[in-house]
Amino acid sequence: MAAATGNMCVDGGDTAAKRKREEFSWEEKSSRKKLKGSAEGDGGGDLFDALPDDIVHSILCKLSSTAGCPEDFINVLITCKRLNSLGLQPMVLSKSSHKMLAIKAKNWSESARRFLVRCVESGSVEASFILGMILFYCFQNRGEGVALIAKAAITSHAAALYSLAVIQFNGSGGSKNNKDLRAGVALCSRAAFLGHVDAMRELGHCFQDGYGVSRNIMEGRRLLLQANARELALVITATPGAVVPRAWLRWSPHRHLQGPLMSDFGCNVPAAETHPANQFLYDWFSSPGREPGPDLRLCSNSGCGRPETRMHEFRRCSVCGTVNYCSRACQALDWKYKHKADCGPHNSGAAINRYGDLNALINLNEDDAAIAI
């Protein structure tokens, strides 16, 4: 009897345990079904919709400021409606980098213009500069273009400050009587203070020649040396593993220019990356049917892209007369990378004086164009 009772207790315990296991298994399956249904209803199981907007904003701001090309940012915007909505918020667009706004000339359209305008209205400094350059030079909208460039320059955008200096030096968009050399020097000084290499080089020539400022040869040489040193430093910083040839820095009393750092043309380092605004100008005016206009020429420095806004606005090489430049900085770069090999046999001796300056290489502008032609 006792044995029978014990067997019944055991059977009852097994039954209860089995019932509990079945109930737990059923609850687990129900929970999994609910999670699966919730994931399917949300469009995926990554819980993206559960992320707060401020976290997504922070991620998009980082992407906007570090994107290597416009496609990196656009591909995210077209992923879903939420990313598209948050990615077009002013807080995100205001952080846009110049690479993210590197619109190609062949892809220019009304939608591209509206996107740049939206970035400008959001407070993007790079968008102000890029759109300003496009309007001023490509669409001859001088007033709005220079206003946008000035808007970027006010925030200490070095490239915008230098671009305004070039406009002032050349009187671009007006007559030669609209040149304001003192304003050009002041803008160049500010850009040079911010570390802009072309501005340093331009300002150095201004001091050497007394162009818009009292002549000070020693100050000019100091600025040119500083420009060459910064140009070299930028290359070394960009490629930490690069080996700098000793010949770049060695002082040789037998060399005509006393070493690359002491020349007007700098070291033979790789060319700096062209800013998207300048690349857009170069590609735009290089396209068939988009030439600057009758008797108007492009700056011969391929990294510039600026066109003349009137005849004989730019200076020409007085040795060959086949190239022209919007500034001394562009002439120095083009001489170093290309024109030195094309200018002719007289450039190394007669054209460059003992300081290695550009006075004999580039001294023709609209004031003596009649003689040159």
**What does the pLDDT look like over 321-336, one tens digit per residue?**
889 999 999 988 888 8
Write out the two tokens for 120: 């400008």
Domain borders along the chain are 51-102, 276-372
Contacts of 232 (CB under 8 A, 6+ apart): 244, 248, 261, 266, 267, 269
Q: How many angstroms separate the CA atoms of 157 and 16, rounded?
A: 78
Tell me, what's the pLDDT at 232? 82
Q: What are phi and psi of 179, to 5 degrees?
A: -65, 135
pLDDT tens for each residue of 242-261: 566 555 554 444 444 455 55
Is residue 369 predicted with pLDDT exceeding 90? no
348/318: higher pLDDT: 318
Region 298-326 average pLDDT = 91
Nearest-5° angle of CA 242, CA 233, CA 238?
Answer: 50
370 by Cβ neighbours in 10 Å (0-12 / 13-18 / 19+) ranks as: exposed
Contacts of 365 (CB under 8 A, 6+ apart): 312, 313, 314, 315, 316
- Judging by DSSP bridges, how do beta strands 362-364 and 324-325 pair with one another? unpaired
Contacts of 150 (CB under 8 A, 6+ apart): 132, 160, 164
Sheet with 324-325, strands from edge to edge, namely: 324-325, 315-317, 362-364
Confidence of residue 87 (pLDDT cuts 50, 70, 90): very high
DSSP for 69-129, please give it: SHHHHHHHHTT-HHHHHHHTSHHHHTT--TTTT---GGG--HHHHHHHHHHHHHT-HHHHH
Query: What's the mean pLDDT when you consider all of the chain?
Result: 80
What is the DSSP secondary structure assignment for residue 316, as one 8-state letter?
Answer: E
Region 291-301 average pLDDT = 90
272/178: higher pLDDT: 178
Provide the 10 A C-beta neighbour count for residue 157: 22
**What is the separation of C-alpha 275 from the centre of its chain, rounded to a whole number of angstroms?**
4
Q: How many angstroms separate the CA atoms of 170 and 153, rounded?
A: 18
Q: Which of 5-14, 16-25, 60-69, 73-82 has the lowest mean pLDDT?
A: 5-14
Tell me, what's the pLDDT at 370? 32
266/148: higher pLDDT: 148
pLDDT tens for each residue of 15-66: 665 565 655 555 555 554 444 444 454 444 468 888 899 999 999 999 999 9
Tell me, what's the pLDDT at 320? 83
Tell me, what's the pLDDT at 244? 60
